[in-house]
Chains A and B, each alone.
Chain A
Amino acid sequence: MPTPTRSLETHGIPIARRPRRSRKALISLGYFVIPLVVLVSLWQLATTLNPSPFFPPPLAIAENLWKLLFGGDALVTELFFTDFLTTVGRMLAGFAIGTAWGIVVGTIMGRSRAARETVTPIVELLRSIPATATLPLFIILLGGGDDMRVVFIAYGVSWFVLINTAAGVGSIHKTMLDLGQVFKVSRTRQLFTIVLPAAMPKIFAGIRIASTAALLLAIVSEFILATNGIGFQLIQAQGRFQLLTMWSWMLALAILGLLINSLLDYVEGRVLSWHKLSRARI
């Protein structure tokens, strides 16, 4: 149950993971499902009573999306591979590279004061450039291929991870590092057993933002220049005034965003279960 428990935490009471009561789980499921059902029904009702070409009924959208992705003779249609999975692949590749880069540079910035002070103005300026504004540059420099898209996503995503990693690594309690030194733990081991685990909650906060950004950047790169992908299909449908198809791809994006978010929720719960702050996301 994702109720924030900060008020307890501020009083220093740790939140343990308790087995959930089934009744409680049912109630929180109800809180999740009922508003959704009400909202969708209202939408369905409104669009049925007052049909508009711009706003098709939600059931028609869902049905059309199903037909687009799973409607063929095979288990999935060709579009599922050429567009849906392509976007997912680009996004994940860029996300992975950007996150790795962000963690490495962020750790260096967090550990070394000289490095931090040297690159901070550069980082502040570069991350202030709205990521999508740099897309034309990437197209000019790297062409219109998939490598350009992956590098662009990685670039845009890395700032969130970098800033949070630097903050997390830089704020480690000195006692912990001293302790590592007293026990003559090697610097590399200190990094992996003390520094990074302690910075993990902050790093994860950055990764969460980065994951949402990765999807956004992937779509934008497909809007501007692509031959396939969800963003490409969306803009194509718009050009041909196929509003139902357009809505279907928008639904696909929403579902994709939700899936990624839930997956990260799960991973974060597993990796950071020891950390009480992980339950209190802002």
Chain B
Amino acid sequence: MAIATPARPRPTSPPTGPARSRPKGRNTAIWRGIGGVLGLALILEVVSRAGIVSSAFLPPFSAVITEAVLLWGDPVFRTDVLATLLTYVLGMLISIAIAIPLGVLLGMSRPAYRASRAIVELMRPIPPVALVPLVLLVLGAGIEMKLVIVVFAAVWPIMFNTLYGVHDVDPATKEMARSFGVGRSGVVRRIVVPSAAPFVMTGIRIASSIALIVIITVELIAGGAAGIGAFISRERAYGDSESYLAVLAATLTAGLLGLLINLVIGWVERRYFGWEATTRGSI
């Protein structure tokens, strides 16, 4: 069993590991991927056109794609997408600004680390959407309400990953720096932060997908809010087949937005933290 248990997770994201991307293999991968997507699109199209599932409930795939493109011409929808994106960006920035300094501070001292760990472990499994009804009452359905919930949801993963990352810094390295006359803030800046950075990035990646889920959920629940979720919720309420099409198209758009965000974060991770094995885990 010793073979299977390397000291660090050494993965392995399924798509294209560096070892697998031989010139020829890469091409087949692309063709297979395209084939898979086209195959699924074809199946969906046929299922709908042949009437296996009523096309009112499951419109043909081509119609959904067309609708998704057409929706971009709709200023209301564009405003909604931008509202979601704005909330996401602001929420993530606020969370990062809160979580990283707090994580570094708490991770530096052992008693603070242990005490805060207990609190973090307690708060972590609480589903953030449980707060939605309360915050709705207190703050109303504006962007502040969304931001409060998103920040509450996104702060934890970043903070406890920072906490663990800072705690994990090799003490010998710190002592070495101290013995070379580096001051306390210098140790934090030059040793602690760089070696915790990959952990922080993992936290940001996890927080990012949670944030997007939470934003859309809040928009779905809170009637008055703007955003993709609110758009979907409004269209669903109309209940005719045309609005079902809009629901599907908006859901697809939300997916593309999520995919874009994932790709950007993945790129940043590989570009700046590619040297660290922990960032390559696909947790």
> In the complex the two chains form, is A117's CB within 8 Å of B134's CB?
no
> In the complex the two chains form, is B137's CB within 8 Å of A243's CB?
yes
- Interface positions of A from 191 to 227, Cβ below 8 Å from B: 198, 202, 205-206, 209, 212, 215-216, 219-220, 223-224
- Interface positions of A from 111 to 137, Cβ below 8 Å from B: 113-114, 116-122, 124-126, 128-137
> In the complex the two chains form, is B232's CB within 8 Å of A168's CB?
no
> In the complex the two chains form, is B251's CB within 8 Å of A117's CB?
no
> In the complex the two chains form, is B130's CB within 8 Å of A254's CB?
yes
> In the complex the two chains form, is A10's CB within 8 Å of B8's CB?
yes
Other-chain residue from A121, A139, A250, A275 in contact with B33 (beta carbon distance below 8 A): A121
> In the complex the two chains form, is B251's CB within 8 Å of A133's CB?
yes
Per-residue CB contact flags for chain A residues 255-282 toward chain B (1 = under 8 Å, else 0) read: 0011011000000000000111100001
Which bucket holds chain A's interface residue count? 35 or more
B236: Cβ under 8 A from any A Cβ: yes
> In the complex the two chains form, is B168's CB within 8 Å of A6's CB?
yes
Complex: how many Å from CA A277 to CA B1?
Answer: 13
> In the complex the two chains form, is B125's CB within 8 Å of A132's CB?
no
Complex: how many Å from CA A91 to CA B255?
Answer: 24
A32: Cβ under 8 A from any B Cβ: yes
> In the complex the two chains form, is A128's CB within 8 Å of B232's CB?
no
* Chain B residues within 8 Å of A110, by CB: 14
B52: Cβ under 8 A from any A Cβ: no
A26: Cβ under 8 A from any B Cβ: no
Other-chain residue from B34, B168, B212, B282 in contact with A163 (beta carbon distance below 8 A): B282
* Chain B residues within 8 Å of A4, by CB: 164, 167-168
* Chain A residues within 8 Å of B42, by CB: none
> In the complex the two chains form, is B259's CB within 8 Å of A124's CB?
yes
Main secondary structure of the interface of A (DSSP, over half): helix
A28: Cβ under 8 A from any B Cβ: yes
B35: Cβ under 8 A from any A Cβ: yes
B163 (CB) vs chain A CBs: closest residue: A4
- Interface positions of B from 247 to 283, Cβ below 8 Å from A: 247-248, 250-252, 254-259, 261-262, 278, 281-283
Main secondary structure of the interface of B (DSSP, over half): helix
Complex: how many Å from CA A6 to CA B116?
Answer: 19
B228: Cβ under 8 A from any A Cβ: yes
* A-B residue pairs in contact (CB < 8 Å), sample of 12: A54-B137, A118-B32, A120-B36, A125-B259, A128-B261, A132-B229, A140-B57, A140-B244, A167-B12, A223-B221, A253-B127, A258-B122
Which residue numbers of B lie inside 8 Å of A, CB to CB? 1, 3-5, 7-15, 17, 20, 28-29, 32-37, 39-40, 53, 57-58, 111, 114-119, 121-122, 124-134, 136-138, 161, 164, 167-168, 170-171, 199, 202, 209, 212-213, 215-217, 220-221, 228-229, 232-233, 236, 244, 247-248, 250-252, 254-259, 261-262, 278, 281-283
Question: With contacts A120-B33, A254-B130 known, what are 10 further pairs, Cβ within 8 A?
Answer: A35-B116, A117-B28, A118-B32, A125-B259, A128-B256, A167-B13, A176-B3, A198-B4, A219-B127, A254-B126
9 closest A-B pairs by beta carbon, nearest first, are A257-B125, A129-B255, A128-B258, A171-B12, A238-B133, A118-B36, A128-B259, A117-B32, A216-B127
Which residue numbers of A lie inside 8 Å of B, CB to CB? 2-4, 6-7, 9-12, 28, 31-32, 34-36, 39, 54, 109-110, 113-114, 116-122, 124-126, 128-137, 139-141, 163-164, 166-168, 170-173, 175-176, 198, 202, 205-206, 209, 212, 215-216, 219-220, 223-224, 234-235, 237-238, 241, 243, 246-247, 249-250, 253-254, 257-258, 260-261, 274-277, 282
